[in-house]
Amino acid sequence: MLALRLQGCGPDQGPSDGRADVVLSYLLQRVLSLLFVLLLATVGIFAMMHSVPGGPFAFSQGDLTKVAMHNIMAKYGLTEPVWRQYLNWIWQLMHGYLGIPFEEPTMTVNHLIATAWPITLIIGGLTIAVSYSLGLLLGVVAAIRHNTWVDSLITAVVSTAGIALPNYVIGFLLIEVFAVKLGWLPVGGWGSPADVVLPVIAFSLYPLALMERYTRASTLEVTYADYVRMGRARGLSGRRILFNYVLRTSLIPLITIMGPNIPNILTGSIFIEATFGLPGLGSYFTNASLHRDYPLIMALVLIVAALWGACYIISDLAYAIVDPRVRLEGLSR
């Protein structure tokens, strides 16, 4: 975890101006670092893709003549040296163009992502909202009712089942009960608000269970801290102790687990999307890897890496907001 220390303000500079300057300097350096990491990631992925034997059109070599195969390879720039192909890709990326997917030559990668990713973002955004808010609530309730039947029920039903059962198994169970037997919700597909209910529930159980377990453990640890005992001795109300002392401090370790999970959720689950027939981005990850779709692979890797980097930057800033002991450290040294 980064220690964020606020630099001293000059005589003509107010505290708020000094803090804003430090935050902007910190963000600028982290963004530049992220761009460098993205560059290294794309170089590594590009090199690994072309080092694997075979190619995106290897399955067609027996059906096409050498001239036809050469023409197809030349059309997509695959006859040039690997370093030149990478430079061409970087040049297209700087102009906002991600290439043409080999499996869908009638559309661009930009159009494919613009069509599929919003569906994944809707499912992922609702999953984050449901799982994190409900997991935080259940974790606090379980900690407050520690060693009671409420704690045991939440731990057994939510925490254990959510982590032990894969999300596609939960998805099939939900379809069997609520779609097939009861007929309350559609089996799958996309087009109406009812289509998001079962996928969000199935996708939310694992992060909800993870959030509940960490919230419960963190809240229990803070509940027995010395400063909480001191607050009780001073006669502070239980509600004030809970919101002003316990919850704020217990959120600190939760930031650590929230950051890495958000990119995974926002880029979709191939199991959830396949189970419910969602035309989202998750299924393209597997298809692009299996069919050596180089432009699509590079675009998806870039999206995931950028999301991971952005979430870690936001997590570092969240530490400074939640924990008063954490401050922005001078990174320009």
pLDDT for residue 3: 41
Q: How confident is the model at residue 289 (pLDDT cuts 50, 70, 90)?
A: confident
- The arithmetic mean of pLDDT across residues 25-53, rounded, is 86
- How many CA atoms are closer than 13 Å to the CA of 153, on its beta-carbon side? 6
Query: What is the pLDDT at residue 164?
Result: 81
Q: What is the pLDDT of residue 248?
A: 67
Assign 1 a pLDDT band (cuts: 50, 70, 90). very low
Q: Please state, rounded to an integer, the average pLDDT across all residues of the chain.
A: 78
Sequence spans of domains, the chain: 110-290
pLDDT at residue 8 in the model: 40
- What is the arithmetic mean of pLDDT over 188-200? 86
Reply yes or no on whether the pLDDT at 265 is more than 80.
yes
Taking 60 as the threshold, does the pLDDT of residue 328 lie above it? Answer: no
pLDDT tens-digit readout, 54-113: 667 666 555 566 777 777 777 777 778 888 889 988 998 888 888 888 877 788 888 888
Q: What is the pTM for the complete model shown?
A: 0.77
Is 65:73 a contact under the CB 8 Å cutoff? Answer: no
Distance CA 239, CA 99 (A): 56
pLDDT at residue 121 greater than cutoff 80:
yes
Residue 118 has pLDDT above 70, yes or no: yes
In this predicted structure, what is the pLDDT of residue 236? 67
In the chain, % of residues over pLDDT 70: 77
Q: Give me the mean pLDDT over the 7-25 stretch.
A: 55
d(CA 172, CA 187): 9
pLDDT of 205 reads: 87
- pLDDT score at 237: 67
CATH of domain 110-290: 1.10.3720.10
DSSP secondary structure letter of residue 145: T
Q: DSSP secondary structure string, 162-218?
A: HHHS-HHHHHHHHIIIIIIIS--S-SS-SSSGGGGHHHHHHHHHHHHHHHHHHHHHH
d(CA 105, CA 296): 11
Three-state DSSP at 146 gives: coil
Q: How confident is the model at residue 256 (pLDDT cuts 50, 70, 90)?
A: confident
- Confidence at 210, pLDDT banded by 50, 70, 90: confident
Residue 140 near residue 215, CB atoms below 8 Å: yes
Structure token digits, residue 72: 């197809």
Q: So what's the pLDDT on residue 7?
A: 40
Q: Place 52 in a pLDDT band, splitting at 50, 70 and 90.
A: confident
State yes or no: pLDDT of 281 exceeds 70.
Answer: yes
- Three-class HEC string of 10-47: CCCCCHHHHHHHHHHHHHHHHHHHHHHHHHHHHHHHHH
Contacts of 200 (CB under 8 A, 6+ apart): 123, 126, 127, 130
Residue 275 vs residue 237, higher pLDDT? 275
Residue 40, classed as helix, strand or coil, is: helix
How confident is the model at residue 14, as a pLDDT?
44
Predicted pLDDT at 331? 39
